[in-house]
C-alpha cells in the first residue's frame, strides 16, 4: 500500500476567528493518511491573548492524530516559532523542499507596519554569527526562529493592541497595499530562495504569504498552499503513490475537507522516503533530562 502524506499550513487556530475553526474541523483532511505535516502557523501560540487556547488546540490535534494512527509533524512558523525547532524538511530524497516561508525575506512579514524593526532584528542576529556561518540554511532558520519570537514581545511592548477604529482602518489599507506588492514579488522571491538553499529540489512548497499559487520557474515548481486565514483559499499537498497532488480545501466550519479533483498533479522521480535535514527534534521527541497559475 502506498504511503500517503498530507501537507497543510497557516491554519491560524485560536486567533481572531478568521482561521480554521478547530483541530476537530481539520480532522477530515488527514483521513486515510499516514502522516500529516503542518507547515507552520498552526496556532496563535506567540500572541499572549490566545496562547492558552492555542496550546489546547496543539494538544488536541496531537490526540486526534494519535487516535487515527497518523504521524503528526510540525514545522514552526512566525506565529508559532517555538512549537518545534524543526524549520524545514527535504522529502523524497530532496526532490521536495518544504518550509513555512518566513525565511524568504529578512523582514519576515514585510507587509507589516513594523517591518523595518523586524529587518533590524534580523540584521543584528545575523551579525552576531560567525561570518563563515552566516550563509547557511540552518543559521538562517535559527535566526528567523529567534526574530519571530522577539517580534511578538516587541509589538506587545510598543503598541499593545489598538482599539481605535480609524487607526485600524488606516493600518488595514496600508497593509493591503504592501501585501499586494509582495504577492507580485512572491514567485521570484521563492525561486531565488530555492536556488540558494535547495538547488536540487524540483518542488518548493511553502505558505506564510497567504497567496495560494503554482509557478514554474527555472525548471522548478513552486507551490504556495495559501491560508485558512484571509483570503481563505487554503490548499493541501497530498503525496502518495509516486505522485504529488495539490487540492483545494473546502472551507466548511463543520469540517474542512479536500476537494476531490486535484488542481494539479506532479509525478515524482524518487522513492517515497522522507527525511528532516537537519535531524531536529521537537520538544516532544526529545529524551527527558530534550509556473504560472495563481489562485
Give per-residue pLDDT as tens, 63-76.
999 999 999 999 99
What's the distance, Cα to Cα, between the start and end of the chain in Å?
32
> Could you tell me the pTM of the whole model?
0.87
The span from the CA of 213 to the CA of 225, in Å, is: 7
- For the chain, give the mean pLDDT: 87
Banded model confidence at residue 45, pLDDT cuts 50, 70, 90: very high
- The residue-averaged pLDDT of 24-39 equals 98
Question: Which of the listed ranges 1-5, 87-91, 121-125 does the model predict with the highest average pLDDT?
Answer: 87-91
pLDDT of 288 strictly over 90: no
Pairwise pLDDT comparison (255 vs 266), residue with the higher score: 266
Predicted pLDDT at 272: 56
Predicted pLDDT at 251: 87
- The residue-averaged pLDDT of 178-187 equals 90
**Is the sign of the CA dihedral 233, 203, 123, 51 positive or negative?**
positive
Banded model confidence at residue 287, pLDDT cuts 50, 70, 90: very low
Residues 6+ apart with CB under 8 A from 213: 186, 187, 222, 223, 224, 226, 292, 293, 294, 295
**SS3 for the chain, per residue?**
CCCEEEEECCCCECCCCCCCCCHHHHHHHHCCCCEEEEECCCECCCCCCCHHHHHHHHHHHHHHHHHHCCEEEEECCCCCCCCCCCCEEEEHHHCEEEECCCCCCCCCCCCCCCHHHHHHHHHHHHHCCCHHHCCCHHHHHHHHHHHHHHHHHHHHHHHCCCCCHHHHHHHHHHHHHHHHHHHHHHHHHHHHHHHHHCCCCCEEEECCCCCCEEEEECCEEEEECCCCCCCCCCEEEEEECCEEEEEEEECCCCCCEECCCCCEEEECCCCCCEECCCCCCCCCCCCCCCCCEEC
Preceding amide of 231 cis, omega within 30: yes
**pLDDT > 90: what percent of the chain?**
69
- The residue-averaged pLDDT of 50-64 equals 97
Banded model confidence at residue 239, pLDDT cuts 50, 70, 90: very high
**pLDDT > 70: what percent of the chain?**
84
Predicted pLDDT at 163: 42
Which of the residue ranges 144-158, 168-182, 249-263 would you say has the lowest mean pLDDT? Answer: 168-182
Amino acid at each position: 500500500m502506498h504511503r500517503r502524506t498530507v501537507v497543510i499550513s497557516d491554519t491560524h487556530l485560536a486567533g481572531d476567528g478568521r482561521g480554521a475553526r478547530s483541530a476537530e474541523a481539520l480532522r477530515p483532511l488527514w483521513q486515510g493518511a499516514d502522516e500529516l505535516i503542518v507547515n507552520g502557523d498552526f496556532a496563535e501560540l506567540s500572541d499572549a491573548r490566545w496562547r492558552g487556547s492555542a496550546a489546547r488546540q496543539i494538544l488536541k490535534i496531537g490526540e486526534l492524530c494519535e487516535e487515527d494512527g497518523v504521524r503528526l509533524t510540525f514545522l514552526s512558523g512566525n506565529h508559532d516559532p517555538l512549537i518545534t525547532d524543526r524549520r524545514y524538511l527535504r522529502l523524497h530524497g530532496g526532490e521536495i523542499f518544504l518550509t513555512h516561508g518566513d525565511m524568504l525575506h529578512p523582514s519576515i512579514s514585510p507587509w507589516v507596519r513594523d517591518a523595518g524593526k523586524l529587518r533590524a532584528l534580523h540584521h543584528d542576529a545575523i551579525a552576531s554569527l560567525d561570518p563563515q556561518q552566516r550563509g547557511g540554511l540552518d543559521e538562517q532558520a535559527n535566526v528567523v526562529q529567534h526574530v519571530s519570537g522577539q517580534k511578538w514581545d516587541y509589538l506587545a511592548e510598543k503598541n499593545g493592541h489598538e482599539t481605535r477604529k480609524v487607526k485600524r482602518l488606516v493600518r488595514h489599507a496600508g497593509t493591503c497595499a504592501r501585501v499586494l506588492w509582495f504577492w507580485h514579488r512572491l514567485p521570484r522571491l521563492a525561486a531565488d530562495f530555492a536556488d540558494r538553499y535547495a538547488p536540487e529540489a524540483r518542488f518548493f512548497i511553502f505558505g506564510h504569504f497567504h497567496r495560494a499559487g503554482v509557478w514554474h520557474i527555472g525548471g522548478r515548481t513552486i507551490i504556495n498552499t495559501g491560508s485558512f486565514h484571509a483570503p481563505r483559499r487554503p490548499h493541501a499537498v497530498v503525496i502518495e503513490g509516486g505522485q504529488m497532488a495539490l487540492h483545494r480545501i473546502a472551507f466548511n466550519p463543520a469540517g474542512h475537507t479536500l476537494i476531490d479533483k486535484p488542481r494539479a498533479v506532479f509525478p515524482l522521480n524518487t522513492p517515497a522516503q522522507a527525511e528532516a535535514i537537519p535531524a531536529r527534534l521537537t520538544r516532544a521527541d526529545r529524551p527527558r533530562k530534550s509556473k504560472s497559475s495563481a489562485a
